[in-house]
Amino acid sequence: MMKIGTHYAYWNNMWAADYIALCHRAKKCGLDVLEVGAGDLVNMSDAELAELSATAKELGLEISANLGPPKDKDISNADPAIREAGVKFLCDILDQMVKIDCKILIGACYNCWPFDFVDIDKEALLDRAVEGMKIVGDHADKLGLTIALEILNRFESCMINTLDEGIAFCERVGKKSVKLLLDTFHMNIEEVEDIPTVLRRGGDWVAHVHVGEANRMLPGQGHLDWAEIGRALRDIGYDAKVVMEPFLLTGGEVGPAIKVWRDLSAGADGDKMDEMMTEAVKFLRANLNG
């Protein structure tokens, strides 16, 4: 049975968040998973991590950790010092994840995000990222954790834009822990084949799935065929996390970073945001689990 989650920034237009409060909010909406900011974990004390872990367990929630590495911790960077800092940063996050029983680190861990497109020597970027990810993958293997590398569209990265590029990268890394995240938003932009076909081809490489409409709204608020997407996931025996990444709110830090230039929530207050999330959870359960 697939577990339904959401990225925490659905409710915020700032990256900082009260994860304890959001755990309770996620539970109220019927979610199984709360996806938190991985970078926040390295700044949390052991006591704070213990509180988050205890709260999640009490509520029956699982935690996944989402990362867009900052530019000074980019394992694809031409500067060796930055690459070294990036490897350490990723390994430190993995160590913190163990403390909250978080099993998976996801995101564009192979470069920085937002990507600035200053260095677009794709081959060199990939070569450097592979070497760094081999080290990080070794650490994840030892800890029994998974890293799911997110395939991004061309407007967010020049490095890994399609399933085939993602598989090629993972094969070069050659670590059991390093797999892929497929995201319906990005696939809708980049893949030649339809989304269900791409998911089926992804097969065992798919360790995490992000879902959202092509307009960045909640599943069911756009044109994607969710029944077929659910059928494809069942066909490959996928029974892990399916996490929504809806970004509806303008302003703050999140709106400009995600390029949300108009209010996609139709002026929703907090209660309405919860109501929409609750309906999206029901919609996904009906379509994904069959």
pLDDT for residue 1 = 86
pLDDT for residue 289 = 87
Tokens of 210: 């992000």
pLDDT for residue 194 = 97
Q: Give the DSSP letter string of 16-40.
A: ---HHHHHHHHHHTT-SEEEEEHHH
Contacts of 114 (CB under 8 A, 6+ apart): 68, 156, 257
pLDDT for residue 209 = 98
pTM exceeding the 0.95 threshold for the entire prediction: yes
Is there a contact between 1 and 289 (Cβ–Cβ < 8 Å)? yes
Is there a contact between 177 and 137 (Cβ–Cβ < 8 Å)? yes
- The rounded distance, in Å, linking the Cα atoms of 209 and 29 is 20
pLDDT for residue 290 = 80
Domains and CATH numbers, the chain: 3-288 (3.20.20.150)
Is there a contact between 20 and 258 (Cβ–Cβ < 8 Å)? no
pLDDT for residue 114 = 93
Residues with catalytic function: 150, 245
pLDDT for residue 8 = 98
**Strand 146-150 relative to strand 241-244: parallel, antiparallel, unpaired?**
unpaired
pLDDT in tens, the chain (290 residues): 899 999 999 999 999 999 999 999 999 999 999 999 999 999 999 999 999 999 999 999 999 999 999 999 999 999 999 999 999 999 999 999 999 999 999 999 999 999 989 989 999 999 999 999 999 999 999 999 999 999 999 999 999 999 999 999 999 999 999 999 999 999 999 999 999 999 999 999 999 999 999 999 999 999 999 999 999 999 999 999 999 999 999 999 999 999 999 999 999 999 999 999 999 999 999 999 88
